[in-house]
Amino acid sequence: EVQLVQSGGGLAQPGGSLRLSCAASGFTFSAYWMNWLRQAPGKGLEWVANIDQGGSEKYYVDSVKGRFTISRDNAKNSLFLQMDSLRAEDTAVYFCAKHSRNSGFQYWGQGSLVTVSS
């Protein structure tokens, strides 16, 4: 059974940092692009970043470039999102998700709430 189990998140002050983790199981983690997405309270879905199988190609939505860093540890089947210089507008539930061309975002983590407030 495929599982994506998230940890991290919580409350941070503006300008602060948080790190999200996503532990994968039930599939060959190192064979897939992985993604982070988010959903602000009462708002729609927004893609945040993705990373290729080996961790060398990374892409970000413009609003987080230079502040967020996506990474992975294939030996530990884990995906990470380091969030620095946090802003109030980064407040959202963050999801990790596995995407493939032939199944879409078929598997999602349970979501991690990140609240940025003083």
Partner 1 sequence: DIVMTQSPLSLPVTPGESASISCRSSQSLLHSNGDNYLEWYLQKPGQSPQVLIYLGSNRASGVPDRFSGSGSGTDFTLKISRVEAEDVGIYYCMQPLQVPVTFGQGTRLEIK
Token representation of residue 69: 């860093």
Which residues in the 35-54 window bind partner 1 by CB under 8 A? 35, 44-47, 50
Please tell me whether residue 90 adopts helix, strand or coil conformation. Answer: helix
User: Among residues 82 and 108, whose Cβ is nearest to partner 1?
Assistant: 108
CB atoms within 10 A of CB 72: 22
The CA angle 96-99-100, to the nearest 5 degrees, is: 165
How many residues belong to the site for partner 1 (CB under 8 A)?
22
Which span (9-17, 19-27, 71-79, 106-114) binds partner 1, by CB under 8 A?
106-114
Q: Torsions phi, psi of 94, nearest 5?
A: -105, 135
Q: Per rule CB under 8 A, is residue 9 in the interface with partner 1?
A: no
**What is the contact surface with partner 1 in residues (CB under 8 A)?**
35, 44-47, 50, 59-62, 95, 99, 101-106, 108-111
